[in-house]
């Protein structure tokens, strides 16, 4: 075992210890205050969510580099989906969004996976940001064009 493995192991076992403690505390609280107490219910739900998060992260670490890259790509996908929902993008932006989700995102994480730093660092801020307004403009919808483009580009 090298140093990287021992520190990872101590991290994982530390997290495991914290989670087990939390679950025991929640269990004792539920015994004392009743299972349908809203506070206990909320706490239990949160602790269970931590278990899932720690489990997923642990699994990704265990799989190795690909696992971590895939996990982060999935998180990016979910975050982008959440974000796009809140913006003004409309029908004319469909191609732009499809390109973002299905081309730019996988390409970026593929480059991360192959450790191509020169590409990773400029792909989105230069090429994607250049291509997005073009794809939106091609459809010919001019209403609120700058707002639509700016909204999707600004939050980096």
121 close to 60: Cβ distance less than 8 angstroms: no
77 touches another protein (CB under 8 A): yes
80 touches another protein (CB under 8 A): yes
In the complex with another protein, the residue whose CB is nearer, 88 or 114, is 88
Measure the CA–CA gap between 28 and 105, rounded to whole angstroms.
Answer: 45
**Part of the chain binding another protein (CB under 8 A), chosen from 8-16, 44-52, 65-73, 96-104:** 96-104
Determine which residue in the list 91, 154, 155, 156 makes contact with another protein, applying CB under 8 A.
91
Measure the CA–CA gap between 99 and 45, rounded to whole angstroms.
Answer: 36
11 touches another protein (CB under 8 A): no
156 touches another protein (CB under 8 A): no
**Part of the chain binding another protein (CB under 8 A), chosen from 25-33, 81-89, 106-114, 116-124:** 81-89
Phi, psi of 143, deg, nearest 5: -60, 130
Residues with Cβ < 8 Å from 12, sequence gap 6 or more?
A: 58, 61
CA angle 83, 111, 107 (to 5 degrees): 50
Q: Encoding tokens for residue 155?
A: 């939050």
Determine which residue in the list 82, 115, 154, 155 makes contact with another protein, applying CB under 8 A.
82
Query: Which residue in the block uniquely carries the two structure tokens 């794809």?
Result: 135
Shortest spacing between CB 105 and another protein, in angstroms: 10
Shortest spacing between CB 135 and another protein, in angstroms: 12
24 touches another protein (CB under 8 A): no
90 close to 140: Cβ distance less than 8 angstroms: no
- The residue ranges that bind another protein (CB under 8 A) are 77-78, 80-82, 84-85, 88-91, 94-95, 97-98, 101-102
């Amino acid at each position: 075992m090298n140093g990287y493995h021992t520190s990872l192991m101590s991290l994982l076992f530390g997290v495991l210890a914290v989670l087990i403690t939390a679950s025991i505390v929640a269990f004792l609280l539920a015994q004392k205050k009743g299972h349908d107490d809203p506070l206990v219910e909320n706490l239990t739900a949160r602790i269970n969510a931590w278990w899932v998060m720690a489990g997923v992260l642990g699994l990704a670490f265990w799989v190795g580099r690909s696992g971590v890259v895939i996990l982060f790509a999935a998180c990016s996908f979910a975050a982008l989906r959440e974000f796009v929902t809140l913006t003004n993008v409309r029908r004319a932006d469909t191609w732009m969004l499809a390109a973002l989700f299905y081309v730019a995102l996988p390409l970026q994480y593929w480059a991360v996976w192959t450790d191509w730093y020169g590409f990773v660092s400029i792909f989105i801020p230069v090429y994607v940001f250049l291509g997005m307004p073009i794809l939106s403009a091609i459809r010919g919808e001019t209403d609120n064009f700058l707002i639509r483009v700016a909204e999707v580009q600004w939050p980096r």
